[in-house]
Amino acid sequence: MKKVYDYETAMVDISYRRKKKSPRKTAILKSAVKHFSEKGFDETSIKDIVDDAKCSIHAVNYYYGSKAALWSEVIDWLAAKHFRLEDLLLKHAEEKVTTATLNKLIHKIFLYTFSPKNLIFSFQLPSIVSHDYEPALFILYRKYDVLENFFIKYLAPLGKDEETMHQVSHLIWNNICAVTLSYKVINGPKIDLDNLRKEIIRWSFFTSQSSAYILGIDQPKELTEKALEKVTAETSF
């Protein structure tokens, strides 16, 4: 008798298959990255992917479940390869938390997120929805846990409760997303890095002030041009 899975069981089964490693699964992912990047989601067919990967449509369904799920896997893979926020944060893991160091770190996070390489990479990703700024948000959402986990450890010496530290990491990420949305909605796909840099500096200082208020520490002073240049030089792009 054929076994019938309920929805939850089926999703657990598919999740398990996605974690499995196999040459065929890797070939499907590489083919999907190629075709989605060149033609976008709508113009890429599963047939395009499987023909290039030299496998069957059944293999795509087996490992990923659907075209949309495969797209999500592509975004995860690209984000892990290109958007290395972890590397930046790791350098500050043992740093003593002060108003000044927190201010500089938040500036670095903004500068890294909107560095030319990361900006072009995230904004040029093809999207599965109609709004052309969505791919950048997909990348950001994939990295939120990295930021939150870092700040829970980073701010621990201040003796604040976990909810307060969550508010700080959430505020930083919300403001980064706000810059992304406002810039894309107002300016469209054209990237004017000079104008955007001014917005980044303004938003990062506002975020530093708000974070200090939540944490109950002194309000930071705005970084001088010289200090900003140093922070920029220290930020890994």
Q: Supply the DSSP string of 214-228, one letter for each residue.
A: HHT-PPPPPPPHHHH
Which of 74, 104, 120 represents a domain boundary (last residue)? 74
Dist CA 124 CA 154 (whole Å): 33
C-alpha distances (whole Å) from 182 to each of 86, 190, 203, 234 are 25, 13, 12, 27
Task: Give the pLDDT mean for 143-148.
Answer: 89
Which of 27, 55, 74 represents a domain boundary (last residue)? 74
Which of 22, 49, 74 represents a domain boundary (last residue)? 74
pLDDT band at 5 (very low <50, low <70, confident <90, very high): very low
Kindly tell me if the per-residue pLDDT of 128 is higher than 50: no
Dist CA 192 CA 187 (whole Å): 8
Are 125 and 183 members of one domain? yes
Are 134 and 161 members of one domain? yes
Are 192 and 91 members of one domain? yes
174-193 tens-digit pLDDT: 998 888 777 766 666 666 77
Rounded to the nearest 10°, the torsion over CA 182, 187, 189, 194 is -90
Kindly tell me if the per-residue pLDDT of 123 is higher than 70: no
CB atoms inside a 10 Å sphere around CB 80: 12
Least confident of 60-69, 118-127, 174-183, 206-215: 118-127
Dist CA 52 CA 54 (whole Å): 5
Task: Give the pLDDT mean for 87-95.
Answer: 91
pLDDT at 16: 59
Domain that holds residue 188: 85-234
For the entire predicted model, the pTM comes to 0.75
Which tokens hold the place of 171?
Answer: 């505020």
16-38 tens-digit pLDDT: 566 677 889 999 999 998 888 77
Are 104 and 63 members of one domain? no
Please check whether residue 74 is in contact with residue 36, taking contact to mean a CB–CB distance below 8 angstroms: yes
pLDDT at 195: 79
Task: Please state the domain count of the chain.
Answer: 2
